[in-house]
Structure 1
Amino acid sequence: MAAILKISDDFYEDTFTLIALHSSLEDFALAYRLNLFLKSNFKRCRLDLDISQNISFPIFEWKNLDTDGYWTLIANHSFTQDNTVQESLFQNEPSYTAHFLLPEYKDVDYFLKIEEDNVKTEKPIVEAVLKMPEIVTAYSIQTNTIKSINNLIY
């Protein structure tokens, strides 16, 4: 009989800070504005985060050399075009399906994930982001309450 190995849920240690951002800006525009306000240097990754064959999320990253940290900005929404033909009044118009990186936070537009050994800057970061006129609101999320935490492992 073959042995079955399981990875424990405790195997992944959440050593990051997660900040929820609500904004109507496009991802590239938000990255640009964050660079201005936080004195960061977010750049688009060459590869997106692929959840499945058709669902991907663009990632902007910044390696903070001052604190030896790794920051990422990622959208919570991804849209795919439906290819099913339906008999309706708008049958010639394309329809889209929304997918969420963290489905339990459907109202969040973007996440700022900060991986640093000593993140004591969480509150000042949220305060700085809230000063941006394009940000409706921003707040920290307790990572131990996230059900779909595996989507944040990238």
Structure 2
Amino acid sequence: MAVKKLILDDFIDDVNYTLIAVHCSIEGYRLAYFLNKKLGLNLKRKHEDIDLNTLAKYPIFEWEDIKQQVTWHLVSNVCRIEEVIQPQENTLFHSQATRQNTFYLIPEYKRVNYFLKINDDGLLSKNSKNTLSNIQEIPHVITAYNVDVDTIKSKNNLIFY
């Protein structure tokens, strides 16, 4: 009897995207505003934050350009959560202390504040240098650069629904 094999590689679409790391110290909504203004985008905050089954939730901004069939995502890489530490019972002072925990969307890039993910299927990759230079012209952005997605171990965190 003949054995038939189904190779899934033919059916799985390899999604191409450009990932830009952005170092800046401003809030996400301000960065989204400056990107909208500088690049002619229309990034808007999604109602649902990214939740990776941890305590951390990462704010995300999205814009789908229907004309060019490009989807832009601006996502924070850092989430800081403050938790209350229960005081020990046999201490002189019974004040509550707090501890701040920091979580990262992509732990390999702990110094990156935001990632700009551009789902472009290779169409916009030609203009990535122009996009990078425009991002670097924003006064509050320290630096921005392309990230090689193949070297990231936690690239599953970049799958947004």
Q: 1: CA distance between counterparts of 2:39 and 2:97?
A: 41
Q: 2: CA distance between counterparts of 1:12 and 1:146?
A: 19
1:66 aligns with 2:77: no
Q: 2: CA distance between counterparts of 1:12 and 1:97?
A: 37
1:82 alignment partner AA: E
The alignment's TM-score, normalised by the length of structure 2, stands at 0.82
Pairwise CA distance, 1:14: 4.8
2:138 alignment partner AA: M
In the TM superposition, what whole-angstrom CA distance separates every residue of 1:64-110 from its partner, at most 9, and x where no partner exists?
22311000000000112223325699x54532100000000000000
1:121 aligns with 2:122: no
SS at match of 1:34: helix
Q: 2: CA distance between counterparts of 1:15 and 1:63?
A: 15
SS at match of 2:111: coil
Q: 1: CA distance between counterparts of 2:41 and 2:120?
A: 15
In the TM superposition, what whole-angstrom CA distance separates every residue of 1:28-51 from its partner, at most 9, and x where no partner exists?
111011111111100000111101
1:81 aligns with 82
Once superposed, what is the RMSD of the aligned Cα atoms?
Answer: 2.2
Q: 1: CA distance between counterparts of 2:151 and 2:107?
A: 13
Map 1:9-24; keep pairs closer than 5 Å.
13-24=14-25
| % identical aligned pairs | 36
> Is the CA contact 1:14–1:144 (under 8 Å) kept in the aligned structure 2?
no
> Is the CA contact 1:21–1:111 (under 8 Å) kept in the aligned structure 2?
yes
Runs of 5+ unmatched residues, structure 2 = 1-7
1:138 aligns with 2:138: no
Q: 2: CA distance between counterparts of 1:55 and 1:122?
A: 30
Runs of 5+ unmatched residues, structure 1 = 1-6
SS at match of 2:80: strand
Q: 2: CA distance between counterparts of 1:13 and 1:148?
A: 17
Q: 2: CA distance between counterparts of 1:13 and 1:75?
A: 24
> Is the CA contact 2:85–2:97 (under 8 Å) kept in the aligned structure 1?
no
Q: 2: CA distance between counterparts of 1:127 and 1:66?
A: 23
> Is the CA contact 2:23–2:141 (under 8 Å) kept in the aligned structure 1?
yes
1:108 aligns with 2:93: no
Structure having the higher Rg:
2
The alignment's TM-score, normalised by the length of structure 1, stands at 0.86
